[in-house]
Amino acid sequence: MSDNNFHPPRRTLMGPGPSDVPARILEALGRPTIGHLDPAFVALMDEIKSLLQYAFQTESPLTMPISAPGSAGMEACFVNLVEPGDKVIVCQNGVFGGRMKENVERCGGTPVMVMDAWGSAVDPGKVEDALKAHPDARALAFVHAETSTGAQSDARTLVELAHKHDCLAIVDAVTSLGGTELRVDEWEIDAVYSGTQKCLSCVPGISPVSFSERAQHRIANRGHRVQSWFLDMNLVMAYWGGKTKRAYHHTAPVNAMYALHESLLMLKEEGLENAWARHYRNHLALRAGLEAMGLSFIVDEPHRLPQLNAVSIPAGADDAAVRGRLLEEHNLEIGAGLGDLAGKVWRIGLMGHASRPENITLCLGALDAVLSDMGAEINAGAALPAAEKVLAAG
Amino acid sequence: MSDNNFHPPRRTLMGPGPSDVPARILEALGRPTIGHLDPAFVALMDEIKSLLQYAFQTESPLTMPISAPGSAGMEACFVNLVEPGDKVIVCQNGVFGGRMKENVERCGGTPVMVMDAWGSAVDPGKVEDALKAHPDARALAFVHAETSTGAQSDARTLVELAHKHDCLAIVDAVTSLGGTELRVDEWEIDAVYSGTQKCLSCVPGISPVSFSERAQHRIANRGHRVQSWFLDMNLVMAYWGGKTKRAYHHTAPVNAMYALHESLLMLKEEGLENAWARHYRNHLALRAGLEAMGLSFIVDEPHRLPQLNAVSIPAGADDAAVRGRLLEEHNLEIGAGLGDLAGKVWRIGLMGHASRPENITLCLGALDAVLSDMGAEINAGAALPAAEKVLAAG
């Protein structure tokens, strides 16, 4: 053995992801590697597909994990559904809507932007106006849960609008899957992608996706070849999808699939609705503490994501110094602001396994200690009792 | 805990990859997840870059792991270096040259194919003819070690030819990295990609890549935007590359990076030249056994890959039945033929950690037993003594 081995510090992960990965999932991850065409692995793939269908609440057979992070899952949706010349209505209310725009452009499509303020939900009225103004648009794309701001949009209503105007609906559910209500079939979402490292509490690196029948029809009838070989669903399907023999496409990340399987089992054991309720319950306690301390949320209450709490940095607090001290003194990671919100907010995640009462106590206690010591303008000592009251009330 | 947990069978992996992953790497993989922007993780990224430079024998700062399998590493090289209208000479002597052709086409480029028989090395004479016939070609692409056939091509000579004709050289080193001689700087390779699951004996899912200064210049001076957002090296560089602050691009697969780091440490501890020599030594013993048994290699001796041994299936042996029995009775995985070679050959890997004397004994013993029992035309009982003689001679 070398003394150069990497031994990560033990952190509590309350940023925008990765979230804490439970020991049970890490243990599954480290099991012996088998071949990606081993019958035992092929059986595991079937189980993962079925568990993902449960998590997404869909019966679509084109539901599977992409062997790369959420950004690649986003790209998989766009490269398969957007062709050169296609007009796509893209809603932007944070960082990830901007990334969608980039994707449309790189596919040779024309994005029509519907802009909302960072921290706001997507405005269905503006979306309807855009759909009416662009009757030739072929798809509507929006972020269900904006990780950069903590705002949640009304996916059901937006998808309805898209269909009313003959558009496919492409939805980013990276931060919502497993954390807040998401019903892919009932809401008739056409393409959805997520990530493993948020409310599934799995290791980062994999992106679950699902495509509706309508989307599959669009893919099957494309005029141009999909520009990415790696993400071409026609090929990926033959490996993950078929009822018949699996065609070799790429070598699946075998061990990451063990971990994903375990995380999806845990979600099923808890029950999807129970997981949503737990995220909401713990959010209420954290919120009580943060507000008692004097910090304010940047998102209006009806659109707040329980799993990602974005609050303004109080006067007298140095952003980087506070996060640095939380990490060094308390082994606690919270998230910085991203893009336009850099230096202005903190993003506190209560995602998946990290959404637990003891993490609320740790986070409020550590913030109170560091901010008080820095002389920041907060109500010192008020946070923990306020949170405790909510936790005790259950 | 659920009784649905997945417990993989214990296999010995002697196919074309994934290869056996040592316990030390699995243990690293399962360590607690930390944030992808944690200072401890950023330090790990620097170490990984430096260890990859050693493995590739390059000093290029644009050397890093792509957060997706080898197919995505291939795509990263093509989408960054090929622009619409570019002519690219593509050598094909197996499955993966064909995938390169697909990549060129999907980038809007025009592939000019140089075809060699499956099992042959790429013929430098044909390549030179193609380069002369197409003076407007902008790149030459070839596979150093063809995983589908077990043939190795003369990378140094091919790269020299490319440069003589003002082409960049794009090289697939998925199966060669860590197994046979590969010297990226000395041979002046411009873009090279590999995989973690072959001779590095790491878990599948990550693709190390490296780009020369010449390639970086080409990327920096593109006329069109890179068509993939996820694989755009201008963006990936800002996350992995910069001397300055890291810009968030995507969430790195943190745990997979722990494993990659450990596997690269192991390679450095052994020494690259020692690893190459070990692969060759063990190949000689396996070869002696296979030939004594009566099986013949499909690749001529000078071009045989020591880490991937493709042999003809003997008369009287049912391909799928033999592989099925090896797996079920001996927990041994060997590889089937791919593409044109399906049903005609077996591919026996001695890659990375799997390249060990005990695996040679297991493989030859199991093959001898199963083939004898099936009544296939082999010299029963001859393999093990022949291999033992070579092993004993060291």
Cβ atoms of B35 and A11 closer than 8 Å: yes
Tell me if B6 and A107 make a contact (CB, 8 A cut-off).
no
B109–A contact, CB cutoff 8 A = no
Burial label for A330, CB within 10 Å (0-12, 13-18, 19+), is: middle
Same domain, B199 and B83: yes
Same domain, A100 and A133: yes
Count of domains for chain A: 2
Domain membership flag for residue B7: no
| Three-class SS state of A93 | coil
Cβ atoms of B283 and B350 closer than 8 Å: yes
Same domain, B367 and B276: yes
Q: In whole angstroms, what separates CA A126 from the centre of its chain? A: 24
Which residues of chain B have a CB within 8 Å of the CB of A229? 71, 74-75, 99, 102-103, 106
- pLDDT of residue A334 exceeding 50, the answer is yes
pTM above 0.95, yes or no: yes
CATH classification at residue B381: 3.90.1150.10
Tell me if B228 and A228 make a contact (CB, 8 A cut-off).
yes
Q: In whole angstroms, what separates CA B367 from the centre of its chain? A: 25
* Residues near A30 by beta carbon (within 8 Å), at least 6 away in sequence: A255, B26, B27, B29, B30
Q: How far is CA B317 from CA A373, B287, B361, in A?
A: 76, 19, 20
Which residues of chain A have a CB within 8 Å of the CB of B13? 33-35
Same domain, B338 and B239: no
Which residues of chain B have a CB within 8 Å of the CB of A18? 33-36, 251, 254
In angstroms, the separation between the Cα of residue B389 and the nearest Cα of chain A is: 31
Token pair 């509590």 is at which residue?
A: A12
Torsion of CA A110, A114, A116, A118, to 10 degrees: -20
Nearest by CB to residue A338, choosing from B35, B248, B327, is B248
Q: How confident is the model at residue B242 (pLDDT cuts 50, 70, 90)?
A: low
Same domain, A242 and A359: no
Same domain, B342 and B365: yes
Token pair 């869909």 is at which residue?
A: A58
Tell me if B6 and A333 make a contact (CB, 8 A cut-off).
no
Q: Of A210, A242, A268, which closes a domain?
A: A268
| Separation of first and last alpha carbons in chain A | 49
- pLDDT, tens digit, for every residue of A27-68? 999 999 999 999 999 999 999 999 999 999 999 999 999 999
Burial label for B243, CB within 10 Å (0-12, 13-18, 19+), is: exposed
Ordered alpha helix ranges (H), chain B: 23-29, 39-56, 70-81, 95-106, 124-133, 155-164, 213-220, 233-240, 254-270, 272-293, 319-330, 357-374, 383-393
| Separation of first and last alpha carbons in chain B | 49
Same domain, A122 and A212: yes
* Helical packing angle, A213-220 and A233-240, nearest 10°: 120
CATH classification at residue B127: 3.40.640.10
- pLDDT, tens digit, for every residue of B98-140? 999 999 999 999 999 999 999 999 999 999 999 999 999 999 9
Same domain, A261 and A288: no
Question: Which residues in chain A (179-218) have CB-CB distances under 8 A to chain B?
Answer: 195, 197, 203-205
Domain membership flag for residue B14: no
Which DSSP symbol is given to B201?
-
Distance CA B293, CA B287 (A): 10
Domain membership flag for residue B8: no
Read off the tokens for B216: 């970086």
- pLDDT, tens digit, for every residue of B178-237? 999 999 999 999 999 999 999 999 999 999 999 999 999 999 999 999 999 999 999 988
| Three-class SS state of A70 | helix
Burial label for A92, CB within 10 Å (0-12, 13-18, 19+), is: buried
Domain membership flag for residue A10: no
Distance CA A203, CA A206 (A): 8
* Helical packing angle, B95-106 and B70-81, nearest 10°: 40
- pLDDT, tens digit, for every residue of A280-305? 999 999 999 999 999 999 999 999 99
Residue A56 lies in domain: 23-268
Mean pLDDT of chain A: 96
Domain membership flag for residue B12: no
Same domain, B144 and B98: yes
Q: Mean pLDDT over residues B67-90, rounded?
A: 98
Tell me if B9 and A67 make a contact (CB, 8 A cut-off).
no
The pLDDT of residue A243: 57
Q: In whole angstroms, what separates CA B32 from the centre of its chain? A: 29
Q: Mean pLDDT over residues A244-267, rounded?
A: 92
Q: Mean pLDDT over residues A159-175, rounded?
A: 98
Q: How confident is the model at residue A1 (pLDDT cuts 50, 70, 90)?
A: very low
- pLDDT of residue B340 exceeding 50, the answer is yes
* Closest chain B residue by Cα to residue A67: B68
Read off the tokens for A327: 């990490």
Q: Is A127 left (phi over 0), alpha (psi -120 to 50) or beta?
A: alpha
A251–B contact, CB cutoff 8 A = yes
Distance CA A147, CA B251 (A): 12
Nearest by CB to residue B8, choosing from A32, A251, A252, is A32
Tell me if A195 and B251 make a contact (CB, 8 A cut-off).
yes
Same domain, A78 and A227: yes
Tell me if B30 and A32 make a contact (CB, 8 A cut-off).
no
Q: Of A268, A294, A323, which closes a domain?
A: A268
A226–B contact, CB cutoff 8 A = yes
Torsion of CA B361, B367, B372, B377, to 10 degrees: -120
Q: Mean pLDDT over residues A309-331, rounded?
A: 97
The pLDDT of residue B247: 78
Dihedral sign, CA of B1, B5, B8, B9? Answer: positive
Question: Which residues in chain A (341-360) have CB-CB distances under 8 A to chain B?
Answer: none
Cβ atoms of A23 and A353 closer than 8 Å: no
| The pairing of beta strand B168-172 with beta strand B139-143 | parallel
Same domain, A97 and A154: yes
Q: Of B239, B268, B297, which closes a domain?
A: B268
Token pair 């010449």 is at which residue?
A: B214
Which strands, in side-by-side order, build the sheet including A191-193? A63-66, A207-211, A191-193, A168-172, A139-143, A87-92, A110-115
| Three-class SS state of A330 | helix
Read off the tokens for A260: 């994903």
Cβ atoms of B88 and B190 closer than 8 Å: no
Distance CA A384, CA A290 (A): 9
- pLDDT of residue A3 exceeding 80, the answer is no
Distance CA B168, CA A290 (A): 56
Q: Mean pLDDT over residues A166-172, rounded?
A: 98
Q: How far is CA A32 from CA B8, B30, B331, in A?
A: 7, 11, 13
The pLDDT of residue A246: 74
Beta bridge partner(s), residue B113: B90
Nearest one of B57, B12, B11 to B350, comparing CA atoms: B12
Q: How confident is the model at residue B248 (pLDDT cuts 50, 70, 90)?
A: confident
Nearest by CB to residue B31, choosing from A7, A35, A225, is A7
Token pair 């490996």 is at which residue?
A: A239
* Closest chain B residue by Cα to residue A267: B2
Q: Is B287 left (phi over 0), alpha (psi -120 to 50) or beta?
A: alpha
What ipTM goes with this model? 0.97
Which residues of chain B have a CB within 8 Å of the CB of A67? 68-69, 72, 205
Read off the tokens for A288: 């009580």
Domain membership flag for residue B9: no
Read off the tokens for B109: 């480029």
Residues of B307-342 as b/e, b for ≥16 C-beta within 10 angstroms? bbbbbbbbeebeeeebbebbbeebebbbbbbbeebe
Distance CA A104, CA A89 (A): 10
Burial label for A43, CB within 10 Å (0-12, 13-18, 19+), is: exposed
The pLDDT of residue B1: 45
Domain membership flag for residue A2: no
Same domain, B49 and B133: yes
| Three-class SS state of A304 | strand
Which residues of chain A have a CB within 8 Å of the CB of B259? 255
Token pair 């997840």 is at which residue?
A: B33
Token pair 């620097």 is at which residue?
A: B46
| The pairing of beta strand B151-152 with beta strand B145-146 | antiparallel
Token pair 């044909």 is at which residue?
A: B126
Distance CA B322, CA B55 (A): 36
What stretch of H or E contains B112?
strand B110-115
Residues of B178-211 as b/e, b for ≥16 C-beta within 10 angstroms? bbbbbebeebebbbbbbbbbbbbbbbbbbbbbbb
Domain membership flag for residue B2: no
